[in-house]
Amino acid sequence: MLNISTNSINEFVDRNKFRALREAEARQSGKVLLRLLTFMSVLILITMFLPWTQNIRSLGSVTTLKPDQRPQTIHSVIAGRIEKWFVQEGDFVNRGDTILYISEVKDEFFDPNLLTRTEEQLQAKEMSVNSYMEKVKALDSQIDAMVQTGKLKLEQAQNKWQQALLKVRSDSIEYEAALINYEIAVEQHTRMEQLFREGLKSKTDLETRKLTMQKALADKIAMENKLLASQNEVLNARVEITSVQAQYRDGVSKAESEKFAALSNMYDAEAIVTKLQNQYMNYSVRTGLYYITAPQDGYVTKAIQSGIGETIKEGEEIVSIMPAQYELAVAMYIKPIDLPLMEKGQDVQIQFDGWPAIVFSGWPNTSYGTYSGKVFAIDNFISDNGMYRVLVSPDPSSYPWPDALRVGAGTINMVLLKDVPIWYELWRKINGFPPDFYRTETNQIEPQVK
């Protein structure tokens, strides 16, 4: 009975008539339940002290370890029009195999003899450079000859000037001698007149002395004229030296001006030659870009551009290719709060999409269908999704990853951390604390050297 009321009716009920009542009162269900609850409590208490491996769970995808082993698209360096395909999707291509051929779409490259005509222009400009170079050499020779001639002419003029100076000295001496002769003749004439007045000399002697004086005067005037002419020759020699210097300086300056003009033209021609060489090489390389080839061994996965006659732009994607040789890895993303817990070489358990697995996150040793990996690299910059990317490589000491794995497959990853009791892990999760992060550091004191 429920025993709700204080008035009991147990003494008025005949239990021999009610079998179900007798069996219900005979059962000891309360004791069994108590024992069951006690056993479960003890079992839960023991379970709380079992070890639990802390872990960080994250999603990821299969990728490759090296960037050049990942799926890539082949681009066209130049604009063109698709003329012919040499492969189809799923084909295996070796490095350098032709994938497709494109033709030119820009009018400045339509000329089929473009390389030949550019080469002819280049040769013409090279000949022009050689002509200017020969002209510069000829002007150099002309300048050298003018310099040598100018030196000789200058020496000649200087010698003439020296001769004029010596002649001036000679004429000045002769003038001084003529002047002395004239003075002596004047004195003798004066004495002769005195003697004539005293009657000691005849008039004939006086006239003879007077003639001698006139001749001395004429010689003096002639010598003075000769001296002035010699001085004039000195001045003319100085003028000639200046004239020679100016003449040959002007000639050399004019030749050097022509030389520098020829050099300027030569440098301009060389610049045009360099430009034409660059243009010729660009045209030559461009003709090789009409055939788009495979950059490495791999499989053609998808033709992004299709058809014949379709026009493509520079840098536009044409076809995607998957390298044949690659090293698989897993790219997983972790939250910023878990980044300090990550380090290279850390153990990671991976569950691949398509491979059945039974996973016990806290007991990785009892999991089935998971594969082991090691943390290979950790990004130092956050990704666009607000998380940090971590690359995981296969663990060489564990089972190898499946051969049928393909790049892009999804993964569920568990980064294994510290072993803690289950009760601690429950307490941590209830409070929202991150996993434990402990590192042992050995502080070694170096001995002081005296």
Query: Per residue in 282-327, pLDDT tens?
Result: 888 888 888 999 988 999 988 888 778 888 888 888 999 988 888 8
> Per-residue confidence at 212, pLDDT binned at 50, 70, 90?
confident
Amino acid identity for residue 425 in this structure: E
How much is the pLDDT for 352? 87
Give the residue from 115, 97, 439 showing the smallest Cα distance to 294: 97
**410-421 vs 51-64, strand pairing mode:** antiparallel
Most confident of 82-86, 284-288, 433-437: 82-86
Reported confidence tier of residue 173, pLDDT bands at 50, 70, 90 = confident
Tell me the two tokens of residue 14.
């005949």
DSSP H/E element including 292: strand 291-293
Please check the confidence at residue 261 and state whether its pLDDT lies above 50: yes
Residue appearing with tokens 């290979």: 376
- Side-chain-facing half-sphere of 334: CA atoms under 13 Å: 26
Residue 183 identity: E
pLDDT at 437 over 70: no
Q: What is the pLDDT of residue 444?
A: 45
SS3 419: strand
CATH architecture of 130-287: Orthogonal Bundle (1.10)
> HSE on the CB side for 296, CA within 13 Å?
13
Q: Are 165 and 230 in contact (CB under 8 A)?
A: no
Q: What is the mean pLDDT of residues 367-393?
A: 85
Give the rounded distance of the alpha carbon of 352 from its chain centre. 42
Looking at the chain, the number of H-run helices and the number of E-run strands are 5, 14
Domain positions in the chain: 49-67+326-431, 71-104+290-323, 130-287
Look up tokens 């050099």; give the residue: 263
CA-CA distances (angstroms) from residue 190 to 19, 38, 107, 199, 200? Answer: 206, 179, 115, 14, 14
- Given a contact cutoff of 8 angstroms between Cβ atoms, the answer to whether 15 and 22 are in contact is yes
Terminal CA-CA length for the chain: 95
Q: Which CATH class is domain 49-67+326-431?
A: mainly beta
Query: Mind giving me the DSSP string for 240-278?
Result: HHHHHHHHHHHHHHHHHHHHHHHHHHHHHHHHHHHHHHH
Total number of residues shown for the chain: 450
Q: Are 79 and 105 in contact (CB under 8 A)?
A: yes
Instruction: Give me the percent of the chain exceeding a pLDDT of 90.
Output: 8
User: Quick one: pLDDT band at residue 54, thresholds 50, 70, 90?
Assistant: low
Q: Residue 333 and residue 211: Cα distance in Å, rounded?
A: 138
Q: What is the pTM of this model?
A: 0.54
Euclidean distance between CA atoms 418 and 425, whole angstroms: 11
* H or E element at residue 291: strand 291-293
Do residues 77 and 315 lie in contact, with contact meaning Cβ atoms separated by under 8 Å?
Answer: yes
User: Alpha-carbon distance 170 to 285, whole Å?
Assistant: 85
Q: What is the pLDDT of residue 219?
A: 84
State the number of CA atoms in the 13 A half-sphere of 399 facing the CB: 9
> How many Å apart are CA 73 and CA 304, to the nearest integer?
9
Question: With pLDDT > 70 as the criterion, what percentage of the chain qualifies?
Answer: 82
Band of the pLDDT at 206, cuts 50, 70, 90? confident
> Residue 33 has what pLDDT?
73
Residue 317 CA to chain centroid, in angstroms?
26
pLDDT mean over 265-277:
89
Rounded Cα–Cα distance for residues 438 and 53 (Å): 14
Our measurement of the distance from residue 91's CA atom to the centroid of its chain's CA atoms, rounded to an integer in Å, reads 37
Q: Do domains 71-104+290-323 and 130-287 have the same CATH topology?
A: no
223: its two tokens? 């010598």
Taking the C-alpha atoms of residue 354 and residue 411, their distance in angstroms, rounded to an integer, is 10
**DSSP code per residue over 54-96:** EEEEEEEEEEESSGGGS-EEEE-SS-EEEEEE---TT-EE-TT
User: What pLDDT, on a 0 to 100 scale, did the predictor assign at position 438?
Assistant: 46
Mean pLDDT over each residue of the chain, to the nearest integer: 81
Instruction: For residue 185, count other CB atoms closer than 10 A to its CB.
Output: 21
Task: Return the CATH fold of 71-104+290-323.
Answer: OB fold (Dihydrolipoamide Acetyltransferase, E2P) (2.40.50)
